[in-house]
């Protein structure tokens, strides 16, 4: 279920700013949207500013970074349990630890598959997009 309020409100008139429900890719603060001569830009109160292409590319990078973090953590759970068990370490609940390692490895593989099959919405070298461009 999505949010009840739109993340991107109707675009403001030329030269005006409007608060969005989007988070800044750099600091997670609230982003505002500005239209100036049909060029859309996003900015936060700290001063981070993005063209539409830059903002979307930054969001794509965040997705990939966070997925790799999740992948690494799950893979490490599986590796630690497997190596401790292989070295003869007495696990307090061997079956429970083995099950967790198996599930963690399975989840890690799914995340890696998602990372490897993901294609960014826009290329990294995207140019600025204008108000009349399709979403």
What tens digit of pLDDT does each residue of 61-91 get?
999 999 999 999 999 999 999 999 999 998 8
What is the longest distance spanned by two Cα atoms in the chain? 69
Q: Taking the CA of residue 85 as centre, how many other CA atoms within 13 Å lie in the half-sphere pointing to its CB?
A: 17
Residue 132 has pLDDT above 50, yes or no: no
| pLDDT tier, 9 (very low <50, low <70, confident <90, very high otherwise) | confident
CA distance 103 to 106: 5
| Residue of 36 and 79 predicted with greater confidence | 79
Q: What is the pLDDT of residue 92?
A: 93
Could you give the count of Cα atoms lying within 13 Å of 67 in the half-sphere of its Cβ? 17
- pLDDT at residue 25 tops 90: yes
pTM reported for the whole predicted model: 0.73
Q: Is residue 121 scored above 90 in pLDDT?
A: no
Q: What would the mean pLDDT of 13-36 be, rounded to a whole number?
A: 93
Tokens representing 50 are: 């993005």
- Whether 12 and 18 have beta carbons less than 8 Å apart is answered as yes
124 has a pLDDT exceeding 70:
no
**Average pLDDT for 50-67:** 91
Kindly indicate the confidence band of residue 2, based on its pLDDT and cuts at 50, 70 and 90: low
Axis crossing angle, helix 52-86 with helix 94-117, rounded to the nearest 10: 150
**What mean pLDDT is predicted for residues 103-107?**
98
- DSSP, residue by residue, 57-96: HHHHHHHHHHHHHHHHHHHHHHHHHHHHHHTT---SSHHH
């Amino acid at each position: 279920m999505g949010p009840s309020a739109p993340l991107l409100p109707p675009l403001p008139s030329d030269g005006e700013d409007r608060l969005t429900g989007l988070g800044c890719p750099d600091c997670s603060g609230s982003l505002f949207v500005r239209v100036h001569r049909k060029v859309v830009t996003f900015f936060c109160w700290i001063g981070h500013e993005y063209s539409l292409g830059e903002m979307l590319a930054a969001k794509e990078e965040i997705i990939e970074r966070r997925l790799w973090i999740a992948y690494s953590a799950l893979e490490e759970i599986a590796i630690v349990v497997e190596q401790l068990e292989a070295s003869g370490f007495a696990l307090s609940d061997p079956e429970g630890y083995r099950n967790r390692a198996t599930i963690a490895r399975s989840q890690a593989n799914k995340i890696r598959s998602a990372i490897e099959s993901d294609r960014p919405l826009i290329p990294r070298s995207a140019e600025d997009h204008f108000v009349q461009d399709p979403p």
